[in-house]
Structure 1
């Protein structure tokens, strides 16, 4: 995913410079096929080559070029590689993006964010997909979802702001016991310095969202941000500047309707206590 994004950004810089792949290759003493291979993510390029391409494309944004240079070196190998022949590619791409993210903003209306789910809650949700999965597939996806949470811990945990609609807190997936444990876990995570939970109560007003899960992953520079949409047919990744601006606006609108963190934790606690009755 990271190498493909690097290629995509280099192609955009070339097109902004009004150069064909053939012309760009000739200017750099290369070929059209080599330029196309770099842009498709099929050929690993060095940091120095990225800087040279930035000069040829007359890109004045040095911060962007240096961020692109740091994306070189081929595909990152991480824990998600053990799932490469087991899970869809979009899941692995999301784990890689989360691993490299500088920050994350998440919005969930119906389902709680996967990165904040307990194992039992995840198993209950995953077991209910259509078409149904085999038991071993449920376990694979559940363990993958829990391993994604590593980015919340460690020496340099990612900063996460999660905007949760009240509906997601009341869905009761897995039954009352699982739901209570899940809400307890949310309250525990909200105590972490790098996790902020904001709840949108019923009746707060409308916002520009279809209800699908949104993860806005911060890049090293804003130009390299990525949006992941959690759809019924799998993950969709968006990275054009108009798309990024649209989802920043959507998240801003949703966050403006949400309670402050302290009030949000109070609401989660009240909902949890309601489940005990």
Structure 2
């Protein structure tokens, strides 16, 4: 085990957090855990903060110490160990907020993605022109170079839906988002045509919630749900006006699975949703 020379990735932090959860469920202190391995309390805390890379064998040993019998979870945690190769998003660490890098990392490792939005088109389904219009409307305004960085980054993120084994994506979009007309008629129509094209891909399901449907509990902000290799390693992202919030506690995961299930039940079937998107494009 060795200290990381750079800030820990989101994945490293999540591994440490899961090890901390396992320890806390046994009511064992970090000092007690360290004693079993000849390590200090500060070293155990560094592991749990993701600042020290740990081996798969050490993860198995800790899981045994913490009386974890969930072999699927243990195996999933071992896959998160070591000094893993950093992803393409790391090249933008100096020019983009850390939250955007975390988002790209989540998407890259996700086994599936579920999103729900009420007034925006999901980022993974936006055209470049639509995204440009969205960034141009940011308050306070972003300088041109910052807009360009974000545009390029957003388009690169969309690669998960096309490259290698495409990631399954289920998107619930309210009809309001279809009729915003962001960027003007030409841009908005092109965006809606793009949604139709994307909805015809095998790995992408788009459902539209029409006006007059509700109540839409828990839908006041965009919801992104990222599937882990086991359900305990899922992650929820909530976008707010001032920050991005990541949630991974079991209670939060259960809540937002239920919220998304509810919203998906309100959405029209994919074929009917395509018809509604087409109609929205014609009437812009």
Answering whether residue 166 of structure 2 is matched by residue 157 of structure 1, we say yes
Structure 1 counterpart of 2:47, from 31, 38, 59: 38
Alignment of 1:29-68 (within 5 A): 29-68=38-77
- Structure 1 residue 208: deviation in Å? 1.1
- Is contact 1:81-1:92 (8 Å) kept? yes
1:101-124 deviation per Cα after TM superposition (whole angstroms, max 9, x unaligned): 000100010111111100000000
2:22 matched residue in structure 1: 13
Structure 2 counterpart of 1:254, from 263, 268, 279: 263
Mark the runs of 5 or more structure 2 residues left unpaired by the alignment: 1-9
- Is contact 1:163-1:197 (8 Å) kept? yes
Structure 2 counterpart of 1:204, from 199, 203, 213: 213
- Structure 1 residue 210: deviation in Å? 4.2
Structure 2 counterpart of 1:178, from 164, 175, 187: 187
Aligned partners of 2:28 and 2:134: how far apart in 1? Answer: 48
Aligned partners of 1:81 and 1:30: how far apart in 2? Answer: 31
2:280 matched residue in structure 1: 271
- Structure 1 residue 234: deviation in Å? 2.6
Tell me the SS of whatever aligns to 2:282.
helix
Answering whether residue 33 of structure 2 is matched by residue 24 of structure 1, we say yes
1:107-159 deviation per Cα after TM superposition (whole angstroms, max 9, x unaligned): 01011111110000000001111111101111111111111000001220100
- Structure 1 residue 76: deviation in Å? 4.3
Aligned partners of 2:165 and 2:219: how far apart in 1? Answer: 33
Aligned partners of 1:211 and 1:182: how far apart in 2? Answer: 23
- Which of structure 1's runs of 4+ aligned residues deviate more than 6 A? none
**What TM-score results when the alignment is normalised by the length of structure 1?**
0.97
- Structure 1 residue 60: deviation in Å? 0.9
1:150-203 deviation per Cα after TM superposition (whole angstroms, max 9, x unaligned): 000122010000000000111111010000000011111111100000000001
2:241 matched residue in structure 1: 232
Aligned partners of 2:277 and 2:68: how far apart in 1? Answer: 48
